[in-house]
Every structure is written in structure tokens, then in C-alpha cells.
Chains A and B, each alone.
Chain A
């Protein structure tokens, strides 16, 4: 049905285009000079149908589900859900069951009122779809009638079309703003609900992270602890390990590529580093558990050191491999942006190439390099798959790299994988962690991008 609606929309728009273009050409054939080409008259009709039609369809599709759900829930017989306090988890459970009955998946023998509700749901959806088609047809007809009525020799169809297109383009550029707003709103909203259950100070300053949920509502003992400090400490440990390896290696690689490498070596090395940068992080994660962690463990046991299977070292080390090309390409760009005249000036004073690099070019490129390293920090903090696969799950308050630690992203993923209902602190804790992650990385990114932008302006 939805497919038919979209097909109708596009076909009608095409028809509107052709009809209006024909009408405009007829006027010109009649001898009147058109202000705009027939093409624009046709385009005007098509846009007048497409834009409102599309808005209508998308809005309808987004609202149909929730509205039907609300109607079905409101229509349930007295005393079936209301005793659980109206909405909440009981309501959601009933709704899920009704939905699955409506879609034909029946488990066990549901009560008669549920089957009845499912039938109502199916009927409502069917009716809604028909209504949607009728509404769409009305909008299309209205749009066409309006556009057709405006076809005349003097009508500035081109300006009309261009105004609509400009509006569409402005909308496109606002999508990025909407996305950011959506992120902020959803994180803040869900975190708000979390902080209604767990006090803010307990989250921010608590030293225990044991996100269990009570199985029954009256089970207080298993309420769990939601202090994020051990989690952020684990993130910090892994980030420090990753950067300790990646920053020197990345910078030395960039220095070599920028100053010493022959053009032929550079032509090979740059794409290889790009390949390294393009490998998905899930692959790095598997590499960590397949190769790096066992190698580290056998190395450690050869030295007589006991090592937990998910050490921070393995996760951080593999993350370092991911960050090396990122840092080296940033540093290479920053070094290349230093004007050649500085290099010549230094060489002409009799410095070696190494002295030129370390005493003139590198210091001159420091702002750009710092920006790149900061972006790498933010990537390390936000990196998910490597740590989900290679780091631990238990939050420990430790900075020992041979221990197993957990990170913010690991906790977000493990809390949300599988069953997700939005009314227990376990699920909502993930959003609180997500909010903190977003704020921390956003802060670093803004500073880093600001530095990089300033740096580009110096040498442009």
C-alpha cells in the first residue's frame, strides 16, 4: 500500500509536469511570448505536487503507528491494563502481544480480548492506509489544480521553481542541525528519566558500576549501582594506552613521509596507510581477540606474568593500530602546509634535514598536529567495536594495563543489546553514558576543529 502511494505520487507528478509543460507550449504556439520556458511550468506543477505529497506521506507514515496503538489501547476493555497503572511496562507488554497477534504470530492461547484488540488493530491499519491514499490523491489534485491555474504567458514559473528548490536546499542543510538536535534531545530526555531513578551525584561520583535490574518491582537488593567513575577510568586507561603507541608512531611516520621518503616510497606508503585507515573497526576487534590477545598472553606467561584474557593492553594496542594512519595523515597534512620558504631558510643556514624538520617545520606545524591528536583522542574515547570485542565487561577501579577494564562504549552496547524496554534504569543508564560520551567528545572536537581551522588560516 505504501509502495502504491509512492508510485502514485511520482506518476502524478510526472503527469502534472507533462500536462503543464504542454499547456505552456500551447500558449507560446498561440503567439504569446512566455516569460519562462515550458520546462519550468512543468517543473512548477511537479514540485507543487511532489513536495506537499511527500510531506503528507512521510508524516502519515510516522504517525499512523503511534495513533493506531493509542486507539487500540484506549479501546481495551475496562480492567485489563488499567490495574497496572495505565501505561508503563504492562501496557507496553500488552501492546507488543497484540501487535504480534495482529501480524499472525500467535504464541500459546491469548485471551479473547487480546485477539479482539488485534482484529481492531488490523482494521484500523487497513482503514488508515485507505485514508492515506485518499488524502494523498486530494493533495495531488489540489497541487495540480493550483499549478495549472497559474500557467500564463506572464507567470514567472522559473522564479517559482527556483524559490521552491532553494527552500528544499535550505531544508537539506538543516537536516544536519536536526540530527544534532535529535541526538541532544533524545540523550537528554532519556537521561532525564534515568536521573529520576538514580540521583545525578550517585552517577557522577559513584565508585561502583553494577548495572543489574531488579527482576521484580519489589526486589530492592538487586537494584545495582550506577557510579560511572570506574567506567570512565577504564576508557581513560585504554585511550592512554592507544595514544601512547599511536602518537609517536604516527608522528614519526608522518615525519619520514614528509621529509625523507622518496616519491616512489611515498606513492606506496600513503595508500597502504589509507587501507589501514579504511578497515572497519569490527575487523580490528576480531584481530584483537584472534591474534593480539593470545600473543600478549603467551608473551606474558613466558615472562611469568598472569594476564587476564581481556586486558586493556590488547584493546588499547589494537586501537593504536587504528589510530596510527589517522594521526600520520593529519600530521603529514599539517607539515605539508608549512610554507616551503621556511624549509629553504633553514637548509640555507646549514641545518641538516633532520634539524630543519625537528626545529623549524615540526614546531611550525604544532597547532595542526595538536588538533589532529585531539581528534584522535575523541575517536579513541568514542571507539566502540574494538573495545566491545576485546575489552572486559566488569568495571574495575584500576589503572593497571594488564587488568581487564571496561569502557563507556562497551557498557552502552552491552546494556542495549538484546531486550530493550525504556523503563528500567539499566537501559536508561546507557543513555546517560551516551550523553556523557557525547558531551566529552563534542568538547574535544570543538576545540580540535577550532585549532585546525585557525592553523589553516595562518598559512593560507
Chain B
């Protein structure tokens, strides 16, 4: 169903980073995701939109196998990252998650210092050889998350002491520090105030230069502002996927249209 018109200038890359085919997700006996096929491009922000409970977050969690941590959840179909099936038996979810980072709805800094929060990923993956190298990774990650200037004088103070927006940017820095190729964001701004939201949105746009970013959002405006491609989910199905501009101005599916017009007016 997703025959797309080729993008003009707004899509920075047309290299497919993740391609999903026939993805089904069951929680116990209820089906949460039905037959989803989607290609996510590299160096692009892709937004998943749709009403609550439509399965967009569930699908997002399939992309780094976070659903594995829920006992009753079963995933079938194929999800390829750079042509490798991430549900293949040979793939270690631990390594996968280092390549596909995730930022959650509510900021969840560890009860550790700001430095240790960011250094956590590099340390467990053994990415750095020396303290100096680690310092460098932490600084560059915090700079990328646009947080460096605010916290550089108090790296040893606890991450939980920051404001909500700062905490979320800390979590982004933490995810960036492991050097992921894809960054998944599950409603990253829903717990933030408008100013913090604006900061994070600006950040997402910058992150696009290095990563493929997938963002789940409730807010249509946000999807329109930050994404180049948008996927509309409804009742566990992917209804429509394409250029963000196209989806918002000329949706082909009546469901998409009613959702968008109902919200945007």
C-alpha cells in the first residue's frame, strides 16, 4: 500500500536503514500490530503518529527488541537493520540496542552523577581505552544534546537533580554516547513544558545529520515540525506512510484525513 512519491529536497538521504516486513505483535492472545511493512531511511526523522493505543509505541519497541523484556509479548515477521534480520538467533539484543538507541516518554536518568549517566553506555560496551577518551565521549555527547554548557561545571552532581527538559536531554546524550546508528524516541516531549519541548525538537533536527531518528508523537504539530517522513498507525495497522508534507496536505486514506483534520482543524 505504501507506494511513495519520491522526495524532493527535504529528505536528506534515501538509504534504507531499517526495513520491516509482515510484522505482527501479540500480547498474549490479543494482536497489537498487524502486517506492518515499513522502510525507515538513514539520516531522516521519521514520525509515527496515530491515536492512543494504535500500536505505534509497540512497533517502535520492536525496532530495538525492547519488547523482549515483556514476557507475554511475541513478535513475528522480519525487521532488517542494514540488511540483517534483528530477530535472527545470532543477533544479540544487547548489541542491537547499542546500535539502536532509545529515549523514553518520561526522562529516566539513573540515580548517578551526570557524568556517570552519560559514561554508562561507553563503559559497559568497553568503548574507550582511557579516562581521557571517556571524558571526550561524555563531552561530545553532552554537546550534541545541547546540554554541555548548562552542566559542564557540575558533572559530578546527580542527574536526577536536573530540570525535566535537562533530564530528557541528558537521556538523549546518554543514548548518543554509545554511538548508535538509529535513535528511537517514544514521545520524548510529552512530559516536558513548551520551552523544553522546543529545545528538544531543535535537538532532534540536529541529530538527523548523524542518525536515523524515529519519533513517536501524539502531537501532529510536532510531527510536522520535526519529521521528514510520517507514518500513520490506526488499530495496529500502518495506514499510510510517506513524505510528511504529503501526509499532512494530501492524505490518500480517508482515515488519515479524518485524524489529521480532526486534530488540526
Using CB atoms and an 8 Å cutoff, list the residues of chain A in contact with chain B. Answer: 263, 339, 341-352, 355, 359-360, 363-364
Indicate if the CB atoms of B111 and A364 lie closer than 8 Å: yes
Indicate if the CB atoms of B98 and A350 lie closer than 8 Å: yes
Q: Indicate which residue in B94, B99, B108 contacts A339 across the interface (CB closer than 8 Å).
A: B108
Q: Indicate which residue in B108, B110, B112, B121 contacts A350 across the interface (CB closer than 8 Å).
A: B121
B259 interface residue per 8 A CB criterion? no
Using CB atoms and an 8 Å cutoff, list the residues of chain B in contact with chain A. Answer: 64, 66, 69, 71, 94-99, 101-102, 104, 106, 108-112, 120-121, 124-125, 171, 174-175, 178
Indicate if the CB atoms of B66 and A348 lie closer than 8 Å: yes
Indicate if the CB atoms of A364 and B110 lie closer than 8 Å: yes
Q: A343 vs B120: C-alpha distance in the bound complex, in angstroms?
A: 13
Q: Which residues of B contact A350 (CB under 8 A)?
A: 94-99, 121, 124-125, 178
Chain A residue, CB-CB nearest to B69: A347
Indicate if the CB atoms of A348 and B104 lie closer than 8 Å: yes
Q: A360 vs B109: C-alpha distance in the bound complex, in angstroms?
A: 10
Q: A345 vs B170: C-alpha distance in the bound complex, in angstroms?
A: 12
Q: Which residues of B contact A352 (CB under 8 A)?
A: 94, 124
Q: A360 vs B111: C-alpha distance in the bound complex, in angstroms?
A: 8
Q: A344 vs B184: C-alpha distance in the bound complex, in angstroms?
A: 13
Indicate if the CB atoms of A355 and B124 lie closer than 8 Å: yes
- Can you list 22 A-B pairs with a CB-CB distance of less than 8 A? A263-B71, A344-B66, A344-B69, A344-B108, A345-B171, A348-B64, A348-B97, A348-B101, A348-B102, A349-B97, A349-B98, A350-B96, A350-B124, A351-B94, A351-B124, A352-B94, A355-B124, A359-B120, A360-B120, A363-B111, A363-B112, A364-B110
Q: A350 vs B182: C-alpha distance in the bound complex, in angstroms?
A: 13
Indicate if the CB atoms of A345 and B104 lie closer than 8 Å: yes
Chain A residue, CB-CB nearest to B65: A347
Q: A263 vs B71: C-alpha distance in the bound complex, in angstroms?
A: 9
Indicate if the CB atoms of B106 and A341 lie closer than 8 Å: yes
Chain A residue, CB-CB nearest to B175: A349
Q: A401 vs B246: C-alpha distance in the bound complex, in angstroms?
A: 79
Q: A346 vs B94: C-alpha distance in the bound complex, in angstroms?
A: 10
Indicate if the CB atoms of A349 and B124 lie closer than 8 Å: yes
Q: A342 vs B171: C-alpha distance in the bound complex, in angstroms?
A: 11
Indicate if the CB atoms of B104 and A349 lie closer than 8 Å: no
Chain A residue, CB-CB nearest to B72: A263
Q: Which residues of B contact A363 (CB under 8 A)?
A: 111-112
Q: A360 vs B97: C-alpha distance in the bound complex, in angstroms?
A: 17
Q: A348 vs B186: C-alpha distance in the bound complex, in angstroms?
A: 12
Known contacts A343-B69, A363-B111; 12 additional CB pairs below 8 A are A342-B108, A345-B109, A345-B110, A348-B97, A349-B120, A349-B178, A350-B94, A350-B96, A350-B97, A351-B94, A351-B124, A352-B94
Indicate if the CB atoms of B110 and A360 lie closer than 8 Å: yes
Chain A residue, CB-CB nearest to B103: A348
Known: A349-B178, A350-B95. A344 touches B104 (CB 8 A): yes
Q: A359 vs B109: C-alpha distance in the bound complex, in angstroms?
A: 13
Q: Which residues of B contact A364 (CB under 8 A)?
A: 110-111
Q: A341 vs B108: C-alpha distance in the bound complex, in angstroms?
A: 6
Q: How far is the CB of A259 from chain B (nearest CB, A)?
A: 10
Q: A346 vs B124: C-alpha distance in the bound complex, in angstroms?
A: 10
Chain B residue, CB-CB nearest to A338: B111
Closest 5 CB pairs of A and B: A350-B98, A348-B102, A350-B97, A341-B108, A345-B108
Q: Which residues of B contact A342 (CB under 8 A)?
A: 108, 110-111
Indicate if the CB atoms of A347 and B110 lie closer than 8 Å: no
Known: A263-B71, A355-B124, A359-B124. A349 touches B111 (CB 8 A): no
Chain B residue, CB-CB nearest to A348: B102
Q: How far is the CB of A78 from chain B (nearest CB, A)?
A: 79
Q: Which residues of A contact B94 (CB under 8 A)?
A: 350-352
Q: Which residues of B contact A348 (CB under 8 A)?
A: 64, 66, 97, 101-102, 104, 175
Q: Which residues of B contact A344 (CB under 8 A)?
A: 66, 69, 102, 104, 108
Q: A198 vs B127: C-alpha distance in the bound complex, in angstroms?
A: 67
Name, among A342, A347, A350, A351, the residue most crowded by chain B CB atoms within 10 Å (CB to CB). A350
Q: A455 vs B102: C-alpha distance in the bound complex, in angstroms?
A: 28
